[in-house]
Amino acid sequence: MYLEWNVAVDEENLMLRTFLRGKFVSKLLLTSVKFSEDGKIEVNGKEENVLYRVKTGDHVRITFPKEQENERLLAEYGELPIVFEDDFILVLDKPAGMTSIPSQYHPSGSVANHLKGHYLRNNIDSAIHIVTRLDKETSGLMLIAKTRYAHGRLSTLHQTGYVTRKYQALVSGNMGMRSGSIIAPIGRNPDSLIERAVVADGKYAKTNYQVLASYPTFDHVKIQLETGRTHQIRVHFAHVGHPLIGDSMYGGPTELLGRHALHSCHLELIHPFTEEKMAWDSELAGDLAEILDQNK
């Protein structure tokens, strides 16, 4: 894979490495190009050192090393609900019950397994870099980077607020306020290897919510994250006394649903290369929609 640019007037006399850093090619990625057999940096068709000073109108092309495939990852060939794909990113609408990545005791059935099969079946020379991981029981939109360049760029955009994720959830009981924010630090639960909790020395976490509709025993809420801590939505709503329906790990009632009632319904981002603003929406998962219909 390669990327290429023409040097603009205001970029005249920059060192090549500075020019490339301005195109979001990280120092680590530049190093991987420098010390690989198949990576190279060219100016006007000729390989150049990163200390070269670019001139207006120069044509710069960087060829990235081949993505390293995880040979231990098992390929699976079931259909994936892909909603967008290009050379840099892939967005899919994950069903509930599918893990994002395999584990030691569950080496198959994950999004990553199926993505490897998708790549092999379609002769796609890309890697799997999951940007917005979803819990196994969470359904909805999920973002994957296909190259190290895209992953690094998207991670930066994510950290600076240019990747927006919105969710819908069914939370037990009725919220006291129709909209608001839950701000509470999240860290590991000292009594569990898996669970998170609101703890004094945890990392800052903020969850914004709006109640869309109220029912006798639960609220239908829309959520926008300002941070992305593990289990953040589940922990925050449990912390304020309204755990998600079906979320037995954090004290949610399980009479209506056998999985936690959380759906990733909106994803918005700046494309890592074209810088185009892009957005996708996903309809509420069928099992959650059915609960709403039954309680009207």
| Structure-token pair, residue 253 | 């009632």
| Structure-token pair, residue 99 | 């893990």
Which of helix, strand or coil describes residue 238? helix
Query: String of b and e for 135-166 (b: at least 16 CB within 10 Å)?
Result: bbbbbbbbbbbbbbbbbbbbbebbeeebbebb
Q: What is the spatial distance between Cα 188 and Cα 199, in angstroms, rounded to a whole number? A: 8
Q: How confident is the model at residue 148 (pLDDT cuts 50, 70, 90)?
A: confident
Q: What is the spatial distance between Cα 110 and Cα 104, in angstroms, rounded to a whole number? A: 12
Q: What is the spatial distance between Cα 97 and Cα 105, in angstroms, rounded to a whole number? A: 16
Helix 148-159 to helix 27-34 angle (10° resolution) is 170
Asked if residue 26 has pLDDT above 80, the reply is no
| Structure-token pair, residue 138 | 């969470």
Q: How confident is the model at residue 2 (pLDDT cuts 50, 70, 90)?
A: confident
Residues of the chain with pLDDT > 90, as a percent, come to 66
Q: For the chain, percent helix, then strand, then coil, each to nearest 5?
A: 20, 30, 50
Same fold, 2-63 and 165-264: no
Q: What is the spatial distance between Cα 99 and Cα 109, in angstroms, rounded to a whole number? A: 7
Asked if residue 44 has pLDDT above 80, the reply is yes
Predicted local confidence at residue 186, as pLDDT: 97
Q: Taking Cα atoms as reference points, which of 205, 200, 202, 207 lies closest to residue 188?
A: 202
H or E element, residue 9: none
In this structure, the number of other CB atoms found within 10 A of the CB of residue 288 comes to 24
- Active site residues per annotation: 135
Matching CATH number, 2-63, of 3.10.290, 3.40.1280, 1.10.10, 3.10.450: 3.10.290
| Structure-token pair, residue 227 | 């941070």
Q: How confident is the model at residue 216 (pLDDT cuts 50, 70, 90)?
A: very high
Show the beta-strand stretches assigned E in the chain: 2-6, 40-43, 46-47, 59-63, 82-85, 89-94, 129-130, 139-145, 163-172, 179-183, 186-188, 196-198, 206-214, 218-225, 262-270, 277-281
C-alpha count within 13 angstroms, C-beta hemisphere, residue 82: 14
Superfamily for the 165-264 domain: Pseudouridine synthase (3.30.2350.10)
Predicted local confidence at residue 246, as pLDDT: 97
The pTM assigned to this predicted structure is 0.85
Q: What is the spatial distance between Cα 219 and Cα 185, in angstroms, rounded to a whole number? A: 24
Q: Express each pLDDT in 170-200 by its tens digit.
A: 999 999 999 999 999 999 999 898 999 999 9
The answer to whether the CB of 109 falls within 8 A of the CB of 50 is: no
Q: What is the spatial distance between Cα 169 and Cα 137, in angstroms, rounded to a whole number? A: 12
Average per-residue pLDDT in the chain?
Answer: 91
- Residue extents of the structural domains in the chain: 2-63, 165-264
Predicted local confidence at residue 33, as pLDDT: 81
